[in-house]
Each structure stands twice: as structure tokens, then as C-alpha cells.
Amino acid sequence: MIIKRMLNLDINDDFKRAIIAQFFLMILVFVISILSAVEDKVFFQISYLVELLIIGFGFRFYFQAQKNRNYSFWTITLVVFIYLLFDVLKYTFVDYNILILYVCFLALIFLSINCYIMSSPLFFPRVQWWEYDFRFRGDLKSIVHTDSEQFKSRLTDVRRYSACIECFEFLPIDKKINIEVNFDNKNFNLPVIVKTSDRVVVGRPFRYGVKMDIEKEETKEKYLELLKIWNSNKKAKLRNKFTENEK
């Protein structure tokens, strides 16, 4: 029933896979906790019941953080990783238990899958929020073309056939648009599909996660060329920043 409800969520396929990965991660963590309690003979102690409550509430906040794309998601991810790592070390060097180790490694796989999906520009773009000087930010000026209009935007992240753009205009989810980037006498016009939207602070631009529409080989080649320019531009701006500060 829970899996069916998750599959019916009005969200894109990548996010569905991430939610399902976290669901199985939660089940495995509970299994590890139960097996550890049986191994240590503390199954009916109050301290263990408290541990189960902490795990339950912890994953409740974990699901909420992932759903709302709060950066606390990564903090809770780190806590879960440390919990699993502690169990791996304990049941490898102290109280060897192959079954618990197997479940721990399986949980680490689901944790890795979840982190990989959520680290996409669609959900958690790499934005240089600490860099106030736009001269040294890694983003590029871009123009968004819709069916009826065009407006200025900034391309703030490009990875894994996805990107993040920022603009003040509203764009609906699943809308097909074109992103135009002019850089170093080269023009890139890429078709994309809006997959996620977010507005971190009122008065600031909307942040959109877009997926490259690379059905055509020509579009794929343009994306790969833009990706190279994107990476070299970020490195060049970083070098310029340190050079400027040395003066």
C-alpha cells in the first residue's frame, strides 16, 4: 500500500526512485536495529524501545527533508551513514555477525543510490551561494525561450544531462523550453524540460531544475560541448579570483 501511494505521487521518475530507495533504506535500518538487539540481548529493554522511536521519527524527518528538498537532508544522510558505518565496524571487529553485515552493506547501497539521485541539479544544484561577486561565480548568462516570449536567466549548474537555471519568471512543471547560451563566440540552443521548481527566498529568482531533451544526436553533442565550456569557465573564474586577491 505504501509503495503504491509513493508510485502515485505527482513527481518525476527520478524522484520516485529516490523515495523508494529511501523507503527500503528505512526498512533495512529497522532490520539492522532488530538483529542487533537480538544479538546483544537487549530486545525488551527500554533503551532499545527509545532507539526504535528515534529511528522512526528520524526517518519521518528524513522523508520530509527529501520531499521538500531541504539541505537538512544531507545532515540526516551523514547521521545514517555514521550509524551504518558503526555497525559495520562493530560486527566486523567486535561481535562478528555475517547476517548483520550483509544487511548493512545492502542499506549502504540504497543510501548511495538515494544520494546519487538527489545530488542531481534537478534537486540540489551546486550553487555558489557564498560568492557575492558575480565576476567569480561559475554561472553563465542565458536566455530562456518559451512558445511566446523570451527572458534573461542564469545557468547555475550543468551535470548529468541536467541543469539548473534561475530567473524571475514563472515556468510550469513539464513545460518544454529552450535555453540559449552565448559564450566565447559560440551559441548553444538546447531544448529542455522543466522538472522541478523552487524559490528559496521571496524576492529572489525562481530556481528551476531542467532535464536536457537529448533525443537528437546533435543536441547531445551540443550539451557535451557546453559541459566542457562550463567546467573550463568555472576553473578560469576561480583562478581569476585568486589572482585578483593577490593584487
The beta strands (E) that lie in 24-139 are given as none
Per the listing, cell 539548473 goes with 164
What's the CA gap between 170 and 239, in Å, rounded?
35
Which residue ranges make up each domain of the chain? 2-118, 134-246
What's the CA gap between 80 and 206, in Å, rounded?
31
23 membership: H or E segment, kind and range: helix 13-40
pTM of the model: 0.86
Q: Phi/psi class of residue 164: alpha, beta or left (left: φ > 0; alpha: ψ in -120 to 50)?
A: beta
What does the pLDDT read at residue 164?
94
Helix axes 13-40, 98-118, angle to 10 degrees: 160
What does the pLDDT read at residue 14?
86
What does the pLDDT read at residue 1?
45
What does the pLDDT read at residue 10?
46
CATH of 134-246, one of 3.40.640.10, 3.40.47.10, 2.40.10.220, 3.30.420.40: 2.40.10.220
Q: Are 194 and 159 in contact (CB under 8 A)?
A: no
Spans of the chain, pLDDT less than 70: 1-12, 128-136, 200, 238, 240-247
